[in-house]
Structure 1
Amino acid sequence: MSWEAKPLREILDQSGRDRAGNQDLPVLSITMRHGLVDQAEKFKKRVASSDTSSYRIAYKNELVVGFPIDEGVIGFQTKYPAGIVSPAYDVWRLKNAGGCHIPYLERYLRSSQARSLYALRMQGAVARRRSLTKADFLALEVPFPSLDHQIRIAHLLGKVEGLISKRKLRLQQLDDLLKSAFLEMFGDPVVNPKRWPNLGLGAALTFMQYGPRFYNESYSAEGTRIVRITDLNENGDLDFLAMPKLTVTEEERKKFLLQPGDLIFARTGATVGKVALIGPNDPPAIAGAYFIVMRFKKTLAPLYVRSVLTSKSVRAIIGERSRQAAQPNFSGPGLRQLPMPIPPMELQQEFAELSDKVANLRAHYQHSLTDLEVLYGALCQQAFKGELDLSRVCMPDTQPEKAKTVILKSFHTHAEQGLAINLPDTDNLLGALENV
């Protein structure tokens, strides 16, 4: 079945006419990831203007719409009897609060389906300044099942969101575990409390080279992968599948082809300081012009070097020095001046083994997270189209096995379509490490 569609004009009325004046109310902001949040909790400080007298009051259970709306900057105010938001935001109230389940409506309004509809109707030439008129917003049609079905859909999607949050937490815990182990084994590389020999990074290098700049060459289906800044994420993982390919000469391959153990350092732009380690099984690639390639003496293990360069204290040095120019940039001479303590190789190898175990477990959780996110997108599509058997979804505070059955059934359906769903069966990270 498909749900009845209702235009938002039948669900919402404009609000936000009341202003803060001299009232001391919580200041709220809209975020893409978390919806409406308290500035004091999210940012650990108040980031609003000191004068909030013109801010709009958003009463409890009212909808706040920010911009750009097609990035999901929208959410209900469910935390306080009243809060205040930027006067640039629109505020709406429900016409019939008893006939609408807020968690359902908010999930739909933040969904990829709704964001696509916003994008089709937005006006303006500048991407992040494009807007949706109030009339066009109210004309948007929302799938509007019965209240019972709204509650079941929100409950089911909330279960999967909980699993996704849990996986993200585990990934963060693994990152924190490795950082803690590094500090315990070696100490802060800038302070160097264990007094390891330290002549600086430059003295430990055997090779340093800027990536080549290819002028006017066109990417091709065949050739050598070219690493771009966008192919490197914050965790130092390279996306080889996304890299474009280029036909290069044999001379260029000999000069620039990356080798196992190479570290590539992002030297410019907003990504300055990101580091990747080339592994023995990585496909042939050449780091582009925005990277510096480094190789080190045998007294240093590449995994240890990467952890030094990505440590909090060294990243702080890189960040401070790179901001001295209009465009953030960190040069080869700057890299050479960075600290590089050299602990015993046995200790470095012990840390490298731990790093490998963490990386294996991290890949396990990351694969699980990816599968869950794919599942969540598919469930949203089916739920908002009325294609799920909601009779098998429990209501909140009732027997959860039915909801679990629906999720698992969807797992199996999508696995048959070629999506592998492999969820880790342990929450004990240290125990899991021992078995990797």
Structure 2
Amino acid sequence: MTSKPPFDGEVMRLGDIAKVSAGNVAPKKSAFCDSGKPFVRAGSLSGLLAGGSVQSLERIDDKTAERLGFRLFPAGTVVFAKSGMSCLKGYVYTLPEECYVVSHLACVTPSADLSKYLEHYFNYNRPNRLIENPSFPSIKLSQIEDIQIRLPEKSIRDKQVGRLEAVIDLVDICKDAESRFDDLVKSRFVEMFGTLEHPRYTIVELQDICAYIVDCPHETPKYDGMLEYPAIRTSELVGTTIDWSSMKYVSEEEYQRRTRRLIPQPGDIVYAREGTYGSAAILPDGYRFCLGQRTMLFRADASVCLPQYLLFAITSPDVKGQADLLNVGSTVPHVNVKDAKRFRIPLPSLALQREFADFATRVDKLRVEAQVQKEKLQTLYDSLAQDYFAI
């Protein structure tokens, strides 16, 4: 059995190696402009971490910022929520360029050579661990300043950061592969079946090829009691897959109440019908699902349509375009069951649908392999981070 090598360095107080401060009070909408520097809000962190860019954020010009007394935070500043519900999630983001930052965010500005080290430190030691009362989540700046951090000499830090960055790069490659697999299947769908503008097969309405089209109960599920049954919501529908990381569960009583219209079964398709509408996924075997908020369920008529074909038909650009037209001028983007029933899609033979389904299944196996590799890499990252940052 090998022992962990002794730590060669110092344990430092964060406030002694970085400036810890709060961001700026959010200005009125009139203060924003088309140019200037980005303004980062707490609510934008999840989007930025999911691959978004500061280029899409609201902006403030320097003259307005100076008049409002705003402080500009340099690239390399590590930011995270210090109050509010975003605080519970523990999102950590490092500014890639100079930004103004909302006051709900804590800003940790180290010297340049410590920026990446602290970014990985907080990615491992999430700041939400400092929350004392989850009912009123908040973190004091003094708590952040008093964090004790292992600080090896620079050459060792650089090697540690290099290893962690290498693992993250591989994780990103796996994430990119996952999204590209979905694009591959969608492009194959168009290649085989054409589009509404250039149809190759008879165009039918969705109601003609579904045995059931069912809306969810229009009320929030009760998440209390013995929680056993997954209540799938729009947040779990990512592209054409199910994201289990945010899944919530309901009791037997709530499950029975939410499945009175129809009991979901494996092979049914759940569709996001409000907000970020258009994502969908096939329900897998081994679970007893019910519909959460803002979803609807499609069950293919097996005599004319296969579930895998139907999944990519309803998530195709053609169907998304039909939904977009229904939402022109809408303040709350959504799809009604009545509208969904009228969605127009091509209907090839079952033999061609099976050919497409076989292709989608092979691609899905590759997607699962990428997910497995991503999870293994994340475990490796956590193991290295524990060695480097645990005191």
Unaligned runs of 5+ in 2: 1-5, 24-34
The equivalences for 1:136-285 within 5 A come to 136-188=143-195, 191-211=196-216, 219-220=225-226, 225-229=229-233, 232-238=236-242, 239=244, 243-246=249-252, 256-268=262-274, 270=275, 272-279=277-284, 281-285=285-289
C-alpha change, 1:60 and 1:366, in structure 2 (3 Å) is closer
CA spacing shift, 1:336–1:143, aligned 2, 3 Å: same
Q: Which moved more, 1:357-366 or 1:288-297?
A: 288-297
Correspondence 1:299 to 2:304 = yes
Quote the Cα distance in structure 1 between the aligned partners of 2:205 and 2:15. Answer: 65
Letter in 1 for 2:94: G
2:338 is the counterpart of 1:338: no
Aligned residues: 358
Deviating more after overlay: 236-245 vs 328-337:
236-245
- 1:358 positional shift: 0.9
The AA in structure 1 aligned to 2:359 is L
Are the structure 2 counterparts of residues 181 and 101 from structure 1 closer, same or farther at C-alpha, using a change threshold of 3 Å?
Answer: same
Query: CA distance change for structure 1 residues 163 and 34 in 2, over 3 Å: closer, same or farther?
Result: farther
TM-score (norm 2): 0.73
Query: Which amino acid is 1:367 matched to?
Result: V
Q: Distance in 1 between matches of 2:119 and 2:223?
A: 47
Equivalent positions of 1:380-419 (< 5 A) are: 380-385=385-390
Counterpart CA distance in 2 for 1:73 and 1:257 is 40
Checking the alignment, whether the CA contact within 8 Å between 2:38 and 2:55 is kept in structure 1 is: no
One-letter amino acid matched to 1:153:
Q
Which of these two proteins has the greater Rg computed from alpha carbons? 1
TM-score where L is the length of structure 1: 0.66
Identity %: 19
**Cα distance, 1:334 vs. partner?**
1.1
Pick which of 347-356 and 198-207 moved more. 198-207
- Kindly state the Cα deviation for residue 357 of structure 1 after the two structures are TM-superposed: 0.6
Q: Displacement, 1:119?
A: 3.2
- The CA RMSD measured in Å over matched residues stands at 4.3
Give the drift of 1:44.
Answer: 5.3
1:372-431 alpha-carbon deviations (Å, 9 max, x no partner): 223322321222126xxxxxxxxxxxxxxxxxxxxxxxxxxxxxxxxxxxxxxxxxxxxx
1:11 alignment counterpart: 17
Are residues 1:104 and 2:104 paired? Answer: no
Distance in 2 separating the partners of 1:182 and 1:208:
23
**Given residue 312 of structure 2, which amino acid in structure 1 is its aligned partner?**
S
- 1:85 equivalent to 2:100? Answer yes
Aligned-residue offset at 1:326: 5.9
Over residues 182-232 of structure 1, what are the superposed CA-to-partner deviations in whole Å (9 max), with x where a residue is unaligned? 1222233xx34124222321232332333468997964367xx35331683
What's the counterpart of residue 326 of structure 2? 321
CA contact (8 A) 1:272 1:328 kept: yes
2:94 is aligned with 1:75: yes
